[in-house]
Amino acid sequence: MKNRVNSKTIQICVVIPAFKVKAQVLGVISAIGPEVQKIIVIDDACPEKSGQYVKANTKDSRVEVIFHDTNLGVGGAVKSGYKRALELDAEIIVKIDGDGQMDTSKIENVVSPIRNGLAGYAKGNRFCDIEAVRAMPKIRIIGNLGLSFLSKLSSGYWRIFDPNNGFTAISRTELMKIPLHKIDDRYFFESDMLFRLNLAGAIVKDVPMPSIYGDERSNLKIRRVLFEFPYKHSRNFTKRLIYCYYLRDFNLASIELPLGIFLGLFGSILGLNSWFHGVANERATQPGTLILISMSILAGLQLVLAFFSYDTRESDSFNKH
């Protein structure tokens, strides 16, 4: 029988994935204020035994520790926490990392859009404060710019920035709409959540949220971001196009993108063929062919831009409360 708690006692539940954060996790827990009624720590087969360390050294009655026999990844750990929070009937589930980079005094800030009915999902955005951005390591700034653009493409939330920010909150109602088993178990978790939230019709809000940078080391490898993330964003973008523009709806934008791509490719291939042919035969390309090439490429570009203009407007109207 599941251990259930009266939903009135758990308005806010915090989920903390724990992997190689033994040195910071107790400080994170102790900094969580009384506005939180439950704290779930997930030891994701941590080699430092962070979960056992928490159980042995915290006297906070709100804390519950879940242990994984094998490492599932940060996404897998968070999903375990989400499932337990749903069992406990928590109304709002906040996810923070255990490495001390997130200011737990801002929990009320990230919860506020959900509590006030303005969103079903809220997330931190470290780029709202210029001074905070200056303190951010330059490699993270550059990486976030690229990842944010890819996330906008794949998720359809064009006004959302800093997609890999792990300081998030979600309502119980919205979480129950998400097929958790389909969401990535590793570091692509946050971006995959945004993609699934869009398909579920969730309103997402960014919340200004500074980060704290110390001597902790990230477990995320650069090579994983460079090779794995672009592929997964491309996959989600393709799925979103099919779901939103061909299965659930069919409109002018559904025609603009494929036609624009076709014309752009046609003009580019014809142009390259004409150039190689001209070089080989030492003959200039005919004016009519040049006009056809130019018009095809320009028309294709215009149609693709028109599609993204429509997609952006749809995102704005859809995500506007």
| Top-confidence residue, 172 or 126 | 172
pLDDT number for residue 281: 77
Q: Which residues contact 113 (CB under 8 A, 6 or more apart)?
A: 119, 122, 205, 207
> Count of alpha carbons within 13 Å of 233, Cβ hemisphere only?
22
- The lowest-confidence range among 80-94, 218-232, 293-307 is 218-232
pLDDT number for residue 319: 62
pLDDT digit string (tens) for 239-255? Answer: 999 999 999 999 999 99
Band the pLDDT of 4: cuts 50, 70, 90.
very low
pLDDT number for residue 2: 43
How many beta carbons lie within 10 A of that of residue 138, not counting itself? 8
**Whole-angstrom distance between the N-terminal and C-terminal Cα of the chain?**
40
- Tokens linked to 273: 């063929």
The answer to whether 205 touches 118, Cβ cutoff 8 Å, is yes
Residue 279 has pLDDT above 90, yes or no: no
In this structure, which amino acid lies at residue 136? M
Residue 75 buriedness (CB in 10 A; 0-12 / 13-18 / 19+): buried
pLDDT number for residue 8: 53
- The lowest-confidence range among 99-108, 225-234, 304-313 is 225-234
- Tokens linked to 67: 């242990």
pLDDT number for residue 104: 93
How many Å apart are CA 300 and CA 21, to the nearest integer?
Answer: 50
Strand partners, 121: 170, 204
Q: What percent of the chain has pLDDT over 90?
A: 71
Average pLDDT, the chain: 89
- The lowest-confidence range among 57-71, 201-215, 251-265 is 201-215
How many Å apart are CA 42 and CA 74, to the nearest integer?
Answer: 9
Residue 268 buriedness (CB in 10 A; 0-12 / 13-18 / 19+): middle
CA distances from 218 to 20, 50, 99, 101, 215 (A): 10, 16, 9, 10, 10
Q: What percent of the chain has pLDDT over 70?
A: 90
CA distances from 282 to 168, 277, 278, 289, 291 (A): 62, 8, 5, 16, 20
Residue 3 has pLDDT above 50, yes or no: no
